[in-house]
Amino acid sequence: MNPDRALKRLRLEPVDRIPHWEHISNPDFYGLISGLDPYEHPRQAALKALEQLPIDMGGGAPATDDPIQRLPDDQSSFIGEDGRRRVRWGAQFTGHWDWGEEFSSVEQALAYRPLQNLDLREKQVIAQMDYSRSVEDIARDMQGGELPKPGGPRAEHLKGGSFYNTLFMWPLLTFGWEIFLELAGGHKEELKRLLADFACLSRKVFQAAALTDINFFVCHDDICMARGPVCSPRWLAEFIYPYYEEFFGVMGDAGIKVIFMTDGNPDLIADDVFACGAHGLISEPFGNYEAIADRHPDKMLAGDGDNRILQSNDRDAIEAMTRRMCQLGKRQPGYFMCIGNHIPWNVPAEAVKLYFDFSAEYGVY
């Protein structure tokens, strides 16, 4: 890993090779690279592998080296003791997606008052915290200690933050998909009120991040699916983008690079997200990254590598994909190699190694 290379890339400065931003949950690949048993020594195997790989952002290693029981390779879906269905993620399991369990009707959602429900430490909304706290207290948690002097320099090493619930995620996670979409299409004025209140929670997070010395911030909102935006670009422009412009502006004014993260196909939202002040975009391999790069040569991009090609374990196909990615990275100064739909447990470890081997061959300047 070379965090300095990643920071240079975010600043559009010259680097020796195209860096990687990867999301890996593939124990067998870590075992192949490290030579260690990734189930007996999960953390050691991951860290040793990451030392040898050009993954300059992302990667991922277990928090402890406690042994992990190997799951059956022919089983990907499990029912837990709580009755929820989960699927395999790396050596363990995903969370659930039963969002909005507390709401059974749109009327209940319309009666909800986000500003009267600020302590979300026990709520199923992913970004769990007590939003009644001051901006300064939240900032100290982000900083991990005392805050730097106002207007001081950004950290000289790669140092970032992230927020999962930028705005779109709030009603989705709070009310669940069905009720949220009913609000989006049939109760627009009421939804505007709810979004304005949810924005008060997010605003604190962005204001707090601006008080720290981080140099990049990942803003996550899954506004897209594989075929494009969940809601129309016109809807997003009315309900979501004004807040993005505000939040990203807070980051930009503080000298922090904003990287927007969404699932799906970002083709129809990229221009607007950049217009709101984002410096970069990371997404999945469903979009036309070459076209986005042509329109935005000064932006950071990641996400056009496809795990379905790795899954094929076809050497020629993997080489062609990696070469294409490297060609784009040679002309886009903010480009990161990235398997945008992530590298899961069931991708052959040898195929993942081929991808990194080919990137070493074609990705050097």
Predicted confidence at residue 156, as pLDDT, reads: 92
Predicted confidence at residue 354, as pLDDT, reads: 98
Could you list the residue range(s) of the whole structural domain that residue 327 is in?
A: 3-362
Stated pTM of the model: 0.96
Q: What is the domain count for the chain?
A: 1
Q: What is the DSSP letter of 364?
A: B
Please say whether the beta carbons of 273 and 251 come within 8 A: no
Average pLDDT value for residue range 215-244: 98
Report CA dihedral (25, 29, 30, 35) to the nearest 10 degrees. 160
Q: What is the 3-state secondary structure (H, E, C) of 211-278?
A: CCCCCEEEEECCCEECCEECCCHHHHHHHCHHHHHHHHHHHHHCCCEEEEECCCCCCCCHHHHHHCCC
- Asked whether residue 151 carries a pLDDT value surpassing 90, the answer given is no
- Asked whether residue 65 carries a pLDDT value surpassing 90, the answer given is yes
Strand-strand pairing, 85-89 and 77-79: antiparallel
| The pair of three-digit structure tokens given for residue 360, joined into one six-digit string | 């070493």
- Asked whether residue 75 carries a pLDDT value surpassing 80, the answer given is no
Please say whether the beta carbons of 31 and 37 come within 8 A: yes
Predicted confidence at residue 30, as pLDDT, reads: 97
Average pLDDT value for residue range 293-308: 98
Please say whether the beta carbons of 23 and 302 come within 8 A: no
Which comes out higher in pLDDT, residue 87 or 198?
198
In the chain, what percentage of residues exceed pLDDT 70? Answer: 100
What digits encode the pLDDT tens for the residues 333-353?
999 999 999 999 999 999 999
Predicted confidence at residue 339, as pLDDT, reads: 98
| The pair of three-digit structure tokens given for residue 174, joined into one six-digit string | 């709070």
- Asked whether residue 97 carries a pLDDT value surpassing 80, the answer given is no
- What distance in Å separates the CA atoms of residue 166 and residue 182, rounded to the nearest whole number? 20
Residue-averaged pLDDT of the chain: 95
Query: What is the pLDDT confidence band of residue 60, given thresholds at 50, 70 and 90?
Result: confident
Query: What is the pLDDT confidence band of residue 98, given thresholds at 50, 70 and 90?
Result: confident
Which comes out higher in pLDDT, residue 47 or 80?
47
Q: By mean pLDDT, which of 57-61, 175-179, 249-253, 321-325 is the weakest? A: 57-61
Looking at the chain, list the stretches that DSSP marks H as alpha helix, in order from N- to C-terminal side.
3-10, 27-34, 42-52, 106-111, 135-143, 169-175, 177-186, 188-210, 233-239, 241-253, 270-275, 289-295, 307-312, 315-331, 349-362
Indicate the SS3 state at residue 339: strand
Please say whether the beta carbons of 179 and 109 come within 8 A: yes
Q: Phi-psi bin for 12: left (phi > 0), alpha (psi -120 to 50), beta?
A: left
- What distance in Å separates the CA atoms of residue 78 and residue 88, rounded to the nearest whole number? 8
Q: Which of 180, 259, 262, 261 is nearest to 226 (CA)?
A: 262
Please say whether the beta carbons of 113 and 197 come within 8 A: yes
The CATH number that applies at residue 314 is: 3.20.20.210
In the chain, what percentage of residues exceed pLDDT 90? Answer: 87
Q: What is the 3-state secondary structure (H, E, C) of 263-304?
A: CCCCCCCHHHHHHCCCCEEECCCCCCHHHHHHHCCCCEEECC
- What distance in Å separates the CA atoms of residue 87 and residue 82, rounded to the nearest whole number? 14
What digits encode the pLDDT tens for the residues 138-150?
999 999 999 999 8
- What distance in Å separates the CA atoms of residue 222 and residue 166, rounded to the nearest whole number? 9
- What distance in Å separates the CA atoms of residue 71 and residue 273, rounded to the nearest whole number? 40
